[in-house]
């Protein structure tokens, strides 16, 4: 019908010459898009109209991007626990200390496969997410990462809140936070008889020092080397009995400055240090 109606054909062509878009002609004639296109395909839009449509399209895409900022693609909404369960503190703390939280991903890297496995297992249990895996064969560092905008945004917000919450949290939650720090950033020095924790962020070091004090453990911050040190037998005993390292956290015996030539857990070396003191 439409193809044989000369008045409608003339109207479509006339509107197109005036610079109307296909959408505008559809509204004016109530004709299907394909029918209109057949009759106006030989009448191109002016350069000015094409530029105007391009600007409108760019603006529309910007508005869509702004509405989606901080959100993942449809169907990938992340679960967002509201409280501070032990497992959530464990995860957020590890991403803070030996990980990275970017605008679009959460990354955790460590040589110790026990910690890598724990983080991956809890991420699957809490957020139902599987990691991407990568291994640096030269250093032996394993990395797992989750490319997920909403997850990254959530973990970043929780990491900021955790630094405030943990100051007045129950002791068991402070212990989880401290153990995560020393598992990731800590080392044991037999020759110097101390436990050391490295962190470039002075705010974090001061937070760790305050939490250790809550367990009656004295420590010193060395701003020059960005580290916190626990020394002297009474403090080392309290650290071992109240915080300690997790089981399965080993030193790297291949390090050039290591005095140990075998695989040892950090908690074993801590016991050696304490035992080395004369009664």
pLDDT in tens, 67-105: 555 444 444 677 888 889 999 999 999 999 999 999 889
Contact indicator for 22, 33 with CB cutoff of 8 Å:
yes
Domain boundary among 135, 165, 195: 165
Looking at the structure, tell me whether residues 175 and 153 fall in a common domain: no
Clarify whether residues 92 and 143 are in a common domain.
Answer: yes
Q: Model confidence at 40, in pLDDT bands (50, 70, 90)? A: confident
Reading the block at residue 86, the tokens are: 């032990």
* Burial grade of 1 (CB within 10 A; 0-12, 13-18, 19 or more): exposed
Q: Is 164 exposed, middle or buried (0-12, 13-18, 19+ CB in 10 A)?
A: exposed
Going by C-alpha positions, the residue among 163, 52, 5 that lies closest to residue 97 is 163
Do 175 and 251 fall within a single domain?
yes
Residues 161 and 197 in one domain: no
Residues 176 and 206 placed together within one structural domain of the fold? yes
Place 259 in a pLDDT band, splitting at 50, 70 and 90: low
The verdict on residue 80 lying in a domain is no
Neighbours of 92 (CB within 10 A): 27
Quickly state the pLDDT bin for 137 (edges 50, 70, 90).
confident
Among residues 68, 98, 117, the one where a domain terminates is 68
d(CA 271, CA 233): 11
Same-domain check for residues 232 and 138: no
Q: Do 150 and 212 lie in a common domain?
A: no
User: What would you report as the CA-atom Rg of the chain, rounded to the nearest whole angstrom?
Assistant: 31
Is 158 part of any domain? yes
Q: Is the dihedral of CA 106, 112, 116, 122 positive or negative?
A: negative
Tokens 């040589």 correspond to: 111
Token pair of 146, please?
């989750």
User: Does residue 35 have a pLDDT over 90?
Assistant: no
Q: What is the CA 268 to chain-centroid distance, rounded?
A: 32
Domain boundary residue among 34, 68, 102? 68
Whether 74 is in a domain gets the answer no
Residues 178 and 161 in one domain: no
Where do we find the tokens 């420590």?
Answer: 219
Confirm whether 79 is domain-assigned: no
Claim to verify: residue 262 and residue 176 sit in the same structural domain: yes
What average pLDDT does range 238-256 have in this prediction?
84
Residue 205 lies in a domain: yes
Mean pLDDT, range 159-186, rounded to an integer: 96
Q: Which domain holds residue 190?
A: 170-276
CA–CA dist 211, 219 (Å, integer): 10
- Segment 205-216 mean pLDDT: 97
Distant-in-sequence, close-in-space partners of 261: CB < 8 Å, separation ≥ 6: 253
Q: Is 129 helix (H, G, I), strand (E, B) or coil?
A: coil
Q: Is residue 75 part of a domain?
A: no
Residue 232 maps to which CATH number?
3.10.28.10
Tokens at 107, concatenated: 């990354």
Check whether residue 124 and residue 216 sit in a common domain: no
pLDDT of residue 245: 95
Whether residue 73 is contained in a domain is answered as no
Closest Cα partner for 148 from 68, 71, 69? Answer: 71
Domain count, the chain: 3
Is residue 33 in some structural domain?
yes
How far apart, in Å, are the Cα atoms of 144 and each of 18, 100, 107, 252?
A: 58, 11, 6, 20
Q: How confident is the model at residue 2 (pLDDT cuts 50, 70, 90)?
A: very low
Q: Are residues 64 and 94 in the same domain?
A: no
Rounded Cα–Cα distance for residues 228 and 199 (Å): 8
Tokens of 154: 């959530």
pTM over cut 0.85: no
- Asked if residue 179 and residue 122 are part of one domain, the reply reads no
pLDDT at site 1: 43
């Amino acid at each position: 019908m439409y193809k044989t109606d000369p008045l409608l054909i003339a109207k479509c062509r006339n509107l197109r010459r005036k610079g109307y878009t296909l959408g505008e002609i559809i509204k004016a004639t109530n004709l299907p898009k394909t029918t209109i296109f057949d009759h106006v395909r030989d009448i191109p839009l002016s350069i000015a109209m094409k530029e105007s449509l391009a600007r409108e399209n760019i603006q529309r895409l910007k508005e869509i991007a702004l509405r989606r900022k901080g959100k993942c693609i449809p169907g990938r909404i992340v679960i967002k626990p509201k409280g501070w369960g032990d497992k959530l503190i464990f995860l957020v703390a590890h991403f803070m200390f030996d990980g990275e939280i970017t605008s679009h991903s959460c990354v955790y890297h460590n040589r110790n496969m026990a910690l890598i496995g724990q983080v991956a297992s809890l991420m699957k249990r809490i957020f139902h997410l599987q990691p991407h895996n990568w291994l640096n064969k030269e250093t032996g560092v394993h990395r797992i990462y989750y490319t997920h905008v909403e997850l990254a945004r959530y973990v970043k917000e929780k990491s900021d809140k955790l630094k405030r919450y943990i100051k007045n949290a129950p002791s068991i939650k402070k212990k989880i936070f401290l153990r995560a720090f020393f598992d990731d950033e800590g080392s044991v020095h037999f020759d110097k008889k101390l436990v050391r924790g490295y962190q470039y962020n002075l705010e974090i070091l001061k937070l760790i020092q305050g939490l250790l004090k809550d367990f009656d453990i004295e420590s010193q911050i060395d701003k020059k080397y960005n580290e916190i040190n626990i020394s002297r037998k009474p403090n080392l005993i309290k650290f071992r009995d109240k915080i300690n390292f997790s089981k399965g956290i080993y030193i790297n015996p291949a390090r050039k400055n290591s005095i140990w030539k075998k695989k040892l857990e950090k908690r074993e070396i801590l016991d050696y240090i304490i035992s080395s003191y004369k009664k």
